[in-house]
């Protein structure tokens, strides 16, 4: 099994973007990619070391204020938890100790591994490159369909953790020749201080960074972090307050505000909507969502409609019919969105990127694998149309 894993890793991550790779080999690589990534367990680690010393001790949190009687208020996310002395916030990882708020997961990832950027998914962010993936336990949402619930719904000490300082994380990425570091699997907002320190170091060392986020963060910490990030993927989980309240124990409006801030700050970002049968698949809501994106964020933002698979507390629901995803793509196109994708349906035409100018296929993907890339200098290699994204 270990030899097979090494072989798959070498095939997947050894050559980066491939131009016009022979079709038979390309298909084989795509199949290997899907098999390798689907069998990786939550909480897996790529040779994580139990080191780090003082860097793994609780770190005083950013963005909080002291209140009366030793309580504090966390200002990191829209919940703005008021936390009594000795207690923790909703996210489980921020604790009030003698009137000071501390992060309990700084330098303590539960998952460190390597994977393709397409898995984020980020399709317009240096396609085909390999990233160092990093997560700590817990989340500030309670999504009933979470695929990583084993770690996102756990607190500090409830899963195996590793002591890795920001410096060690950046060195791992450099030593493996990786293009970026991605904060993913659980919610990066709840390990904000760790993300912030790693991102600043990575920026100095020439390593790019991205976050895969639910967007549940207040504007001030988001604006503080963005200068040190190169890409952001936001899960826009639905487009009704009822869906957010009942399925994620959250609110929609703060996520929309996050998207507006990303646009205002000129950040590069992509949006994913996981389409769940009976819960957020109403064509009227999809139409309103796409119209809102086009009006407030612009037609160039890449939007992904991903297929739901039964998981966690929603195992009674069926997988999303492909025709539902195709209808969502049609609705998005009518709203004027230029780059619309279907996720979790390997081999579908809408895995790939097509030029809004001439209509030709620019990036041929099968699931997480890039088989062909015809974008040159940020432009269509056929007609010269400027394609939105980060390409180098």
Residue span of the structural domain in which 89 resides: 53-103
Q: Tell me if 247 is assigned to some domain.
A: no
Q: Tell me if 61 is assigned to some domain.
A: yes
**Cα separation, 235 vs 140, whole angstroms:** 13
- The pLDDT assigned to 57 comes to 78
Kindly indicate the confidence band of residue 136, based on its pLDDT and cuts at 50, 70 and 90: very high
Q: Tell me if 130 is assigned to some domain.
A: no
Kindly indicate the confidence band of residue 358, based on its pLDDT and cuts at 50, 70 and 90: very high
Q: Tell me if 71 is assigned to some domain.
A: yes
Q: Tell me if 91 is assigned to some domain.
A: yes
- The encoded tokens of residue 342 equal 């279907």
Read off the pLDDT of residues 380-392 as tens digits, 9 standing for 90 and up.
999 999 999 999 8
Quickly count: other Cβ atoms within 10 Å of residue 253's Cβ. Answer: 11
Task: Indicate the pTM of the whole model.
Answer: 0.87
Read off the pLDDT of residues 244-264 as tens digits, 9 standing for 90 and up.
999 999 999 999 999 999 999
- The pLDDT assigned to 91 comes to 98
Domain count, the chain: 1
Q: Tell me if 145 is assigned to some domain.
A: no
Read off the pLDDT of residues 168-202 as tens digits, 9 standing for 90 and up.
999 999 999 999 999 999 999 999 999 999 999 99
- What's the rounded mean pLDDT across residues 208-226? 98
Question: How many helices (H) and strands (E) would you count in the chain?
Answer: 10, 19
Pair 163, 52: CB distance under 8 Å: yes
Residue among 212, 195, 34, 205 nearest 125 (CA): 212
């Amino acid at each position: 099994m270990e030899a097979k894993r090494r072989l798959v890793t070498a095939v997947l991550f050894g050559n980066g973007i491939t131009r016009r790779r022979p079709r038979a080999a390309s298909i084989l690589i795509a199949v290997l990619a899907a098999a390798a990534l689907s069998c990786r367990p939550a909480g897996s680690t790529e040779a994580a070391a139990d080191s780090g010393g003082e860097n793994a001790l609780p770190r005083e949190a950013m963005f909080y204020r002291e209140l009366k009687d030793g309580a504090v208020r966390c200002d990191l996310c829209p919940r703005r938890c008021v936390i009594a002395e000795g207690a923790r916030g909703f996210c489980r990882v921020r604790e009030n100790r003698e009137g000071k708020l501390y992060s309990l997961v700084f330098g303590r990832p539960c998952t460190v591994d390597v994977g393709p950027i397409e898995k984020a998914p980020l399709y317009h962010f240096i396609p085909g490159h390999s990233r160092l993936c990093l997560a700590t336990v817990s989340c500030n949402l309670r999504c009933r369909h979470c695929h990583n619930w084993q770690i996102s719904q756990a607190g500090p000490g409830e899963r195996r953790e590793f002591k890795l300082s920001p410096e060690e994380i950046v060195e791992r990425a450099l030593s493996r020749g990786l293009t970026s570091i991605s904060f993913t699997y659980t919610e990066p907002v709840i390990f904000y201080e760790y993300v912030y320190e790693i991102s600043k170091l990575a920026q100095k060392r020439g390593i790019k960074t991205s976050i895969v986020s639910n967007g549940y963060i207040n504007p001030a910490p988001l604006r503080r972090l963005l200068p040190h990030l190169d890409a952001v993927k936001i899960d826009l989980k639905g487009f009704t307050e009822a869906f957010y309240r009942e399925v994620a124990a959250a609110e929609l409006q703060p996520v929309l505000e996050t998207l507006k801030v990303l646009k205002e700050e000129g950040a590069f970002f992509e949006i994913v909507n996981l389409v769940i049968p009976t819960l957020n698949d109403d064509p009227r809501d999809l139409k309103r969502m796409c119209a809102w994106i086009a009006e407030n964020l612009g037609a160039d933002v890449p939007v992904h409609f991903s297929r739901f698979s039964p998981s966690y507390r929603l195992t009674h629901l069926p997988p999303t019919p492909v025709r539902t995803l195709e209808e969502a793509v049609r609705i998005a196109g009518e709203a004027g969105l230029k780059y619309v994708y279907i996720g979790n349906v390997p081999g579908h035409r809408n895995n790939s990127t097509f030029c809004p100018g001439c209509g030709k296929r620019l990036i041929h993907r099968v699931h997480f694998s890039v088989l062909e890339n015809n974008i040159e200098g940020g432009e269509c290699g056929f007609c010269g149309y400027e394609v939105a994204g980060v390409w180098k």
